[in-house]
Structure 1
Amino acid sequence: MSFSRERPFVLVGAGKMGGAMLSGWVADGIDASALMVCDPHLSDEMDALLKEHGIRHVTAMPVDLRAGMVLIAVKPQMMDAVLPSLTSAVASDTLVLSVAAGTPVSRFEAAFGTVPVCRCMPNTPAMVKRGITAVYPTAAVSEESKKDVTRLMSAIGRVVWLESEDQIDLVTGVSGSGPAYVFYLAEALSEAGRQAGLPAEIAEELAVATVCGAGELMHRSGEHPSVLRKNVTSPNGTTAAALDVLMGADGLQPVMTEAVAAAVKRARELAG
């Protein structure tokens, strides 16, 4: 990969998402001596992980350091403070990665010049190594660097590559915000069970286990969701009766389409 002890891979921000990625890289056997974490406020858990693996930690970027790669994993509202502090570490051949929502490539090019940049949109299941990350590369990103990014992001789940930066907002509406939709599905299913007459605790356990189990089945089977749906739907049975409601004209699809459109609209507003 395009980093080494002399020109390290610097993770800027080791919060929940940055920490999840770092844990995945360590588990995959990345060269810890070529890593550096820049974060002034480490959690006790992250501090222990760095010490266990001998990963360098700094609270501010050393002025004499030149990074091979930099991954920026801070909140978008912190960019004004963070980007100027990184300029000395970013050379013309440094690969800059960002997982910050709503921060366009132009923002990084304004700070660092025409350097290779990849905007990455992971989602929260990355914290259990079951996420999916969409990546948009600028023209300056080489094919070899794309392979490096794929290997890095595969440590937290699957990776897809985008053709245009505009697609990032669409990804945000589907997979970026999508875990919350699934969590709400579990909530709604639990509440429906309670209203049907089940004790609340049992309804919740049934709903959560069903959503988790169905997701795992979908993951392992590799079948299209529609195939799995049909496999468990007997003609004129109980599932068919429920799906008549969910798949009706006022059912789930139009609501989901509207919800994703609302998320995409808001993502574009936040990006300016």
Structure 2
Amino acid sequence: MNQTPIIALIGPGAMGEAIIGGLLRKNIITPERIRASGPLATRVEALHERYGIQPYTDNAQAVQGADMVLLAVKPQKLSRVISGLRGKISPSAVVLSIIAGATIQIISEGLQHQAVVRAMPNTPAQIGEGITVWTVSRYVTPEQMEFSRQVLLALGQEVFVEEENYLDMATALSGTGPAYVFLFMEALIDAGVHMGFPRRIAEQLVNQTILGSVSYYQKIGGHPAQLRNQVTSPGGTSAEALYYLEKAGFRTAISRAIWAAYERSLELGKGLNSKPPEE
């Protein structure tokens, strides 16, 4: 890989822009070495104005001579995108995909390219506070793997796994995880408003409670059950609330929801695999 690698980003949406911002914020690469390609000229030109990156509307042109091709398109657009890129990527380049459900096999066979990294980031990556689970094909070199790690660190934390099936699990747990947290926050805020708090106060109380609880857990450590027991006095308000949550099947609902998301991730992968790339 070149000392000053070129990254071609295909799919300059919200996560694509997060990657650009993270790479520049961490000084991993300079703007002129980043190419962003998408169908809307206004979008890539806006990114050019904002970050100084190179704008493209032709994916095949964008990947010419690139050391890394980063796929960040929606799953339903994958077939058309990889069809247009098949045989166009340099053999020495590495392809990094963050497309949900798209296996390494789908990407590799569709592009006719062997060095593929598959990653699953989450929404907080857009502010550099995400966590990404990732794995690689056996054709990815140690140098390409390390560069991929640096790119993913621009989004927050990273967890490398040897087995690709963990990516579908990560999609359900951490990839979709922010949605569960936001729903929980929404429910707490609405409960506060129902009791009589002004919404702005309820929001402040819930935001800091969740932020502080996570920070406390990270600092103190131990099992979450231990920390929960510390704030649960016998016969107290916490005990009463927790009893009702358990009675209502709170744990089971969460577990079943995550399992449903996991099964859906597997279905998406099967759907992508069953549809040959469009010519």
Please give the TM-score of this superposition, normalised by the length of structure 2.
Answer: 0.84
Q: Give a deviation string over 1:213-244, Cα, whole Å, max 9, x none.
A: 33344456555534443444444433233223
Q: Residue 251 of structure 2 corresponds to which residue in structure 1?
A: 253
**Change in 2 beyond 3 A, CA 1:14/1:220:** farther
Q: Residue 214 of structure 1 corresponds to which residue in structure 2?
A: 213
CA separation in 2, counterparts of 1:119 and 1:211?
31
Q: Which moved more, 1:165-174 or 1:198-207?
A: 198-207
User: Is the Cα contact below 8 Å between 2:38 and 2:44 reproduced in 1?
Assistant: no
User: Is the Cα contact below 8 Å between 1:4 and 1:68 reproduced in 2?
Assistant: no
Unpaired runs of at least 5, structure 1: none
Percentage of pairs with the same residue: 34
Aligned: 1:205 with 2:217: no
2:14 to 9, 16, 26: 16
Q: Give a deviation string over 1:88-138, Cα, whole Å, max 9, x none.
A: 441322111101112122222222325111111000011111101010211
Aligned: 1:30 with 2:28: yes
Q: Which moved more, 1:134-143 or 1:196-205?
A: 196-205
CA separation in 2, counterparts of 1:105 and 1:118?
7
Q: Residue 237 of structure 2 corresponds to which residue in structure 1?
A: 238
Q: Residue 109 of structure 1 corresponds to which residue in structure 2?
A: 108
* Counterpart mapping for 1:50-69 below 5 A: 50-51=51-52, 55-60=53-58, 61-62=60-61, 65-69=64-68
User: Is the Cα contact below 8 Å between 2:89 and 2:113 reproduced in 1?
Assistant: no
Unpaired runs of at least 5, structure 2: 271-279
**Change in 2 beyond 3 A, CA 1:86/1:187:** same
Question: Counterpart of 1:62 in 2: which secondary structure?
Answer: helix
**Change in 2 beyond 3 A, CA 1:132/1:38:** same
Q: Residue 48 of structure 1 corresponds to which residue in structure 2?
A: 49
Q: Which moved more, 1:190-199 or 1:101-110?
A: 190-199
CA separation in 2, counterparts of 1:48 and 1:64?
21
**Change in 2 beyond 3 A, CA 1:258/1:34:** same
User: Is the Cα contact below 8 Å between 1:63 and 1:89 reproduced in 2?
Assistant: no
User: Is the Cα contact below 8 Å between 2:37 and 2:44 reproduced in 1?
Assistant: no
CA separation in 2, counterparts of 1:46 and 1:231?
49
User: Is the Cα contact below 8 Å between 1:63 and 1:88 reproduced in 2?
Assistant: no
State the Cα RMSD in Å.
Answer: 2.4
Letter of the 1:266 counterpart: R
Aligned: 1:79 with 2:75: no
**Change in 2 beyond 3 A, CA 1:4/1:131:** same
CA separation in 2, counterparts of 1:3 and 1:22?
19
The Cα of 1:151 is off from its aligned counterpart by 1.3
Question: Counterpart of 1:180 in 2: which secondary structure?
Answer: helix
The Cα of 1:251 is off from its aligned counterpart by 3.4
CA separation in 2, counterparts of 1:64 and 1:145?
16
User: Is the Cα contact below 8 Å between 1:67 and 1:89 reproduced in 2?
Assistant: no
Question: Counterpart of 2:135 in 1: which secondary structure?
Answer: strand
CA separation in 2, counterparts of 1:153 and 1:159?
6
Q: Residue 69 of structure 2 corresponds to which residue in structure 1?
A: 70
Q: Which moved more, 1:172-181 or 1:100-109?
A: 100-109
Letter of the 1:62 counterpart: Q
User: Is the Cα contact below 8 Å between 1:194 and 1:200 reproduced in 2?
Assistant: yes
CA separation in 2, counterparts of 1:158 and 1:64?
27
**Change in 2 beyond 3 A, CA 1:79/1:190:** same
CA separation in 1, counterparts of 2:63 and 2:35?
14
CA separation in 1, counterparts of 2:191 and 2:76?
39
Please give the TM-score of this superposition, normalised by the length of structure 1.
Answer: 0.86
Relative contact order (alpha carbons < 8 A, sep ≥ 6): 1 or 2 greater?
A: 2
The Cα of 1:207 is off from its aligned counterpart by 2.2
